[in-house]
Structure 1
């Protein structure tokens, strides 16, 4: 059973998502997309399967988004994809692909909706937020 994560090890959300995948006992296929960007077809497909628009899959914070004037509503999806492939930091993260579906896992616990196996034990995010209890059950937030 293959699970892929488009991962940025410098991103806490991405690290938490990877840890939640591993907490099922699965070692995913890790694609460090800043070094190995997806192909245009793969990027378009994961965005579509995640139910997002190309624009919604773009990261603004900490990227050249503003300098490249990517907020221009007249830019086509192809132009936005060109920018994302030329500057992979513009691809929001982490995207996770499983046999159940594809998600942009922001926040990281969105990955729980598409993991085919249960959590094996407790999990606490890097910021100290408990997400999974000792029995492997999701702790519901009060939001």
Structure 2
């Protein structure tokens, strides 16, 4: 890193920080332009154009399905049927199927706890704040 003989960094900051900020703004503008062009191409091709919120919602649904699939794998590894788990939980087999197909957002914590306990596990609920996590239940 460049600095003067007295150890002052001011000239480096005066030159480098504005340059970095300009490059970052250019990068963001380029991203926005690419995203806009991609949306235009999709629209021209008759394909659906999704907003950032719609894309995030789709990713959240996919994540829920993947997590739920793992629960179903645990059930199968233990040679349990959905009906057996449902009886243990006190719910219907279609409810167990719904849980295993990613409908976790609509499931209450008590229902998920019963499902996990029916498989011999223990449910933990964690609040994640990015820089800190807290076990809630």
Q: TM range, normalised to the smaller chain?
A: under 0.3
The structure with the largest alpha-carbon Rg is 2
More strand by share: 1
Higher-RCO chain (CA-CA 8 Å, sequence separation at least 6): 1
TM-score scaled to structure 2, two decimals?
0.26
TM-score (normalised: structure 1): 0.25
When you count helix as a share of all residues, which structure comes out higher?
2
